[in-house]
Amino acid sequence: MTSGRLDDTIAAIASAPGIGAIGIVRVAGPRAFDVAAAVFRPAGGRAVHELPGGRVVFGRVVDPDGDAHDAEAAGAFVDEGLLLTFRAPRSYTGQDAVELQVHGGPAVLRAVLEACLRRGARAAEPGEFTLRAVASGRLDLAQAEAVLAMVEARSDAARRQASVGLSGALSASIDAAQRELTSAYAAVLASLDYPEEGVPEAQVEAPVADARARLERLLATATAGRFAVRGARMAIVGRPNAGKSSLLNALLGYERAIVADAPGTTRDYLEAPLELGRVSVTAVDTAGLRATADAVEAHGVARARELAAAADVVLALVDGTRPLEPEDRELVTALDRDRTIWVASKSDRPREWTAQDLGVAVRPVSSATGAGLDALRHELETRLLGDAAAEEAWVTSERQADALREAVEALARVPGASTDLQGLDLETALRALARITGRGDVAEETLAEVFARFCVGK
């Protein structure tokens, strides 16, 4: 998308596909009010061009090129609705803009959009309204990605993190690092221009160390950011009747899984969404791990092992009321200790073994009484968040994480390097950070990558 096309007037349906009570057609660009004047007739008779920004006007939407029902219609009647006006620069895009709010039927919205297109607007491309917001300085590139995350948020955890990104908190941290590196880069360039003057190490190494530490803290949030946006997967595993389904129900606060005394009740896995503070989790209850001649159950056991291997975190349950079996010890060996939390279930009853017997730290939990559940939730959240728990803004896209890695790797080479190599590495780091916020020299390919996933109306 070229900068020249940003001067076009664009239009698109901005509400979600399907049938709804209200739908929105958005128009933005230099001729937005010309298009609105052609297709909208205010009930009060006031000319659209005379309307200031920040007004909501009731009226009729017409298609000037259609067949009028009467002599006064000046075009085919399409619908009744509202016109919302926005004057530059106080609009989402920073340009003149209007929104037509009409009934939300697909046919109505198509008719309104087609009338706007026939009167001088062109169809907007995916993400073009937000691209214009970036071009006008209303948003930076990191905030634009937060807009997409807000639109796509399927959990409250994802919504909260998107709102932090949209507030500019991530951008502010990146900007602070850019200022420190720009200062160091200026000192290096001065030294290259006037080598006889030299450059004090403090003018380079101190700001580079500060910026690198800041960026490393941000990069450490990438995993938690991914969990916040896409969700984490938690597998619940253990022998039959260890209390896996009961624990799932207790964590959820409602009965999702069937609980029975007979072993092998869960022959396949089942999933349920779970909110753990700032992280959205898909909890997966799996078949009990045991040797079995039943082909269906054996398939479920194999699937349980696969799910545990692929999960972001594993809850491994061992029945506290029964003596340890060889399968329990085999599970300790098989599971990744860094991703596994061990639970002694049924802690409201006497336990037949100790954590020392099992060889790992164990958290006692009773699904019947709720004892230990809050502590388990806290440990799960802490395990998933890691170092991100103390940070407000998280890195939520792989594109941002890749740019941060490139910047951190470049800065790691600066201490002890020759002055000319320091300049090259600082330039590399600054360009990488510019790809995150869009401030600086940003390639067309970067913009295309960011906005390709946007819907047309945004």
Question: Domain with 193 in it: what CATH number?
Answer: 1.20.120.430
Separation of alpha carbons 411 and 205, rounded Å? 10
The strand ranges marked E within 305-388 are 313-319, 340-345, 363-364
Pair 317, 187 in one domain: no
Residue type at 12? A
Q: Do 369 and 306 reside in the same domain of the chain? A: yes
**Residue 412 backbone zone (phi > 0: left; psi -120 to 50: alpha; other: beta):** alpha
Which residues, 6 or more positions from 230, have their beta carbon under 8 angstroms from its beta carbon? none
Is residue 198 domain-resident?
A: yes
Do 23 and 116 have their domain in common? yes
Asked whether residue 172 falls in the same domain as residue 192, the answer is yes
Query: Angle formed by the axes of helices 205-219 and 419-437, to 10°?
Result: 40
- Domain ends where: 79, 109, 138? 138
DSSP states along 380-414: HHHHHHGGGGG-SS---SHHHHHHHHHHHHHHHT-
Residues 263 and 361 in one domain: yes
Same domain, 177 and 79: no
User: Residue 71 has what pLDDT?
Assistant: 40
Task: Provide the β-strand partners of residue 270.
Answer: 285
Place of tokens 């990558």: 449
| Residue 62 domain-assigned (yes or no) | yes
| Same domain for 263 and 373 | yes
Residue 299, pLDDT score:
75
Give the chain's count of helices (H) and strands (E): 16, 13
The per-residue pLDDT for 342 is: 95
In a domain, 11, yes or no: yes
Taking only Cα atoms into account, the Rg of the chain, rounded to an integer number of angstroms, comes to 29
HSE toward the beta carbon, residue 167, CA cutoff 13 A: 11
State which residues form the domain around 271. 238-388
Say if residues 134 and 438 touch (Cβ distance below 8 Å).
yes
Joined tokens for residue 272:
């349920």
The reply to whether 319 and 347 lie within a common domain is: yes
Indicate the average pLDDT of the chain: 86
Verify that 206 and 250 share a domain, yes or no: no
Give the residue among 73, 42, 36, 39 at the shortest CA–CA distance from 57: 42
Name the 3-class secondary structure at 127.
Answer: coil
Q: What CATH number does the domain containing 278 carry?
A: 3.40.50.300
Residues 107 and 217 in one domain: no
Question: What's the pLDDT score for residue 160?
Answer: 85
Angle at 109 between CA 104 and CA 114, to 5 degrees: 175
Peptide bond into 52 cis (omega under 30): no
pLDDT at 13: 96
The number of domains in the chain is 3
Which CATH number belongs to the domain containing residue 13 in this structure?
A: 3.30.1360.120
To 5 degrees, how large is the angle CA 308–CA 312–CA 315? 55
Task: Look at residue 36 and tell me if it is in a domain.
Answer: yes
Q: Do the domain assignments include residue 18?
A: yes
The pLDDT assigned to 379 comes to 92
User: Is residue 315 in a domain?
Assistant: yes
Ordered per-residue pLDDT tens for the chain, 458 residues: 444 488 899 999 999 888 999 999 999 999 999 999 999 999 987 899 999 999 999 999 998 876 554 444 456 899 999 999 999 999 999 999 999 999 999 999 999 999 999 999 999 999 999 999 999 999 999 999 899 888 888 777 788 888 988 998 999 999 999 999 998 888 888 877 665 555 566 678 899 999 999 999 999 999 988 888 888 999 999 888 888 888 988 998 877 665 555 455 554 578 888 888 788 899 998 877 775 666 666 677 788 888 888 999 999 999 999 999 888 888 888 899 999 999 999 999 999 998 889 889 999 999 999 999 999 999 998 889 888 878 888 898 899 999 999 999 999 999 988 888 988 999 999 999 999 998 766 656 667 767 777 887 87
On whether both 71 and 175 belong to a single domain, the answer is no
Within a domain: residue 323?
yes
Q: What is the dihedral of CA 243, 244, 249, 255, to 10 degrees?
A: -80
Cα 402 to the chain's mean position, in Å?
Answer: 16
H-run or E-run covering 103: strand 97-104
Q: 228-245 pLDDT, tens per residue?
A: 888 899 999 988 888 888
* 378 and 398 belong to one structural domain: no
